[in-house]
Amino acid sequence: MDVEQSEFEVGNRIKSQDYKPFFSDLLFYYIAERYPDYKQQMSSNVTETRAKEVLNKTEEVFIWLQSLSQYKT
C-alpha cells in the first residue's frame, strides 16, 4: 500500500500542478459573479467555445477531486 500511496501522491502533485493555472482562470469567473461590473465585461470576453472548454475542464477537475476521496484515511 505504501508504494501505491506514494505513486498516488506523486501523480496527484503533478495533476494539481497541471490544474493550477486553470484554478487561477476560474477565479476570474468567481469575481465576475460577485461584482456586476465585471460580469458585463466577462460576458463580452467569453465565447461559447471558451465557455464549453471551461465547463469541460471543470468536469474533469471535479472527477479528479472525487477520486481523491478513495484514498482518505
Q: Is the pLDDT of residue 7 over 70?
A: no
pTM above 0.75, yes or no: no
Distance between CA atoms of 37 and 39, rounded to whole angstroms? Answer: 5
In a domain, residue 43? The reply is yes
In a domain, residue 58? The reply is yes
In a domain, residue 73? The reply is no
State the pLDDT at residue 4: 55
- Average pLDDT of the segment spanning 32-53: 82
Q: Are 33 and 39 in contact (CB under 8 A)?
A: yes
Domain count, the chain: 1
Q: What angle do CA 65, 61, 43 make, to 5 degrees?
A: 135
Domain that holds residue 54: 1-68
In a domain, residue 2? The reply is yes
